Amino acid sequence: MWCLVSQANSVILEVQVDPKAIGQECLEKACDCLGISKECDYFGLKYQNAKGEELWLNLRNPIERQTGGGVAPLRFALRVKFWVPPHLLLQEATRHQFYLHSRLELVEGRLKVSDWSSVARLVALIAQAEGGDYDALLPPHALYSQCCQIQPIEPCEAKPQDFLHRIVQQHKEIKGMKASTAEYWLLKEVSNLDTFGQEMFHSKFGYNGVSMIGVGPHGITVYRGQDEETQNIPYTAIQSATSQRRMFHLVYLSLDGEETSLDFKLDSSQSASGLYRAITEKHAFYSCETVRSAVTAQFIRDLKGTIISIFNEDSTLGKKYVFDIRRTCREVYDNARRALYCEEANIELPVENEIVDRHDCDDCQNRKCKESRECLARLLDAMLCRICMDRTLDTALFPCGHAVACLDCARRCERCPLCRADIGHCRTIYLPIELTHVDKQNPKSPNDAMETTFVPTRKPTTERIAERILTGNETNNNNNNI
């Protein structure tokens, strides 16, 4: 089954999934194409139902059950579901998708800016990100005009007559800024807006004077008439939330500590269910340490599945999960950071003998070639223990802090070989790239990696073998690989 996944800039990805696949499979394949597989938990897929409403696809349930098996190929929109500040995004591709969605939200008026000066700043950042430095011969007036749809929060002063001049001045001030940097600073500006990360739920009829409810990172915002102030309800004040058909019922504690209820009528039962689902998922994502089993295990059954479950409770027939959140904000960040670190650690440097063979140019008289070979020799030599010259340099001596030895040699020293200071204790250090080839025959046990206090004994040091890397003539039992 083919699915068309559109980005916020209208670029469409073609994704092929199994006809009975769940939504998570489609999302992961789309994220793999964009290079954001480590941080796909921030994103979700939206689709339109028969009434034209945009709904989130539940990633834990089969796709066909939710879309009704519409005309192939199925169409989805890749959107940010959980918004976080840009400094928490580890991959540049993820920040780019956040930027595209933020730009769309600004242009379509779902994100409101405080004043016209901020609007001019955002338009200039968009122009720098998409068109580069300001060119007086070819000014990006078309881009300015498109982005001028961004409006500040009402009520506000009238649009300045020199607004275009302000944009140009802002654009000139950020000359030389890279596109990725401009995207970052736009996200930084947007993350300070009051409506940042809010998912809006509307009512055509303004039930009980409430025209709109926004669910954001910190709680619920109730929007009433234009002349009335908005009401903020933090997650800590919410006592219960339920939805039944088109009605949504909320019980919360007021500022006086009294229980207060709020009833809100939405346009459809699916929108009411979406509001209930958004409150639970965003509260778990932003406010909890981990997602509770009560959230992950909550499900409903259709009529056929309910009848079957009477005879077999373990039956999965007609079973639909209510929520599809898997990780909290902290867990997503930690998992992405760990995955990226492991990906870097698995990058293995070539074996030194292979390097010498591949670049065997002893007779070459080129000065740059000689300098490169000398730098390579110093690099390979610097990664080895200064005492045995066989194993990886992986231990720091304290209190002096010098890292000059491997763990085995450090145990045999009572003074630092470099500064001759007394050694109190040692700690294992971890380089950015793990040297997996060095010391194959002397693996350290898990206990060796812990901080250890030593009873040192003296052992004479060996002379450094300076030329063995360049010549490759001497053989070592450990192969001296990195």
pLDDT (tens digit per residue) in 4-31: 899 998 899 988 888 788 889 999 999 9
Q: Which domain holds residue 449?
A: 352-471
Q: Tell me, what CATH number does 17's domain have?
A: 3.10.20.90
Q: Tell me, what CATH number does 441's domain have?
A: 3.30.40.10
Please state the pTM of the whole predicted model.
0.69
CA–CA separation, 327 and 335 (whole Å) = 9
Residues above pLDDT 70, as percent of the chain: 78
427 close to 398: Cβ distance less than 8 angstroms? yes
- What is the pLDDT at residue 308? 67
Q: Which two tokens stand for residue 43?
A: 């994103």
Q: How confident is the model at residue 441 (pLDDT cuts 50, 70, 90)?
A: very low
Q: How confident is the model at residue 147 (pLDDT cuts 50, 70, 90)?
A: confident
Helical spans, DSSP H, in 359-479: 367-382, 407-411, 468-471
Determine the average pLDDT of the residues in 71-92: 90
Q: Is residue 249 part of a domain?
A: no
- What is the pLDDT at residue 446? 39
β 231-234/219-223 pair status: antiparallel
Residue type, 1: M
Q: How confident is the model at residue 412 (pLDDT cuts 50, 70, 90)?
A: confident
Residue type, 202: H
**Which of 32, 54, 81 is where one domain is finished?**
81
Higher model confidence: residue 96 or residue 411?
Answer: 96
Sheet with 238-244, edge to edge strand ranges = 238-244, 247-253, 259-265
Q: Is residue 438 part of a domain?
A: yes
Q: Is residue 7 part of a domain?
A: yes
Tell me the per-residue pLDDT of 261-313, one tens digit each, with 9 for 90 and over.
Answer: 988 888 888 889 999 999 999 999 999 989 888 888 887 776 666 666 666 66
Residue 236 is classified by DSSP as G
Residue type, 266: L
The total of structural domains in the chain comes to 2
Q: Is residue 61 part of a domain?
A: yes
Q: Is residue 329 part of a domain?
A: no
Determine the average pLDDT of the residues in 161-186: 90
13 close to 33: Cβ distance less than 8 angstroms? yes
- What is the pLDDT at residue 205? 67
* Whether residue 154 has pLDDT greater than 90: no
φ, ψ at 310 (rounded to 5°): -65, -35
Higher model confidence: residue 148 or residue 181?
Answer: 181
**Which of 48, 81, 114 is where one domain is finished?**
81
CA–CA separation, 26 and 65 (whole Å) = 14
Q: Positive or negative CA dihedral for 302, 308, 310, 314? A: negative
219 close to 233: Cβ distance less than 8 angstroms? yes
Q: Is residue 331 part of a domain?
A: no
Widest distance between CA atoms in the chain: 88
Which residues fall within 8 angstroms of residue 401, CB to CB, at 6 or more apart? none
Residue type, 410: A
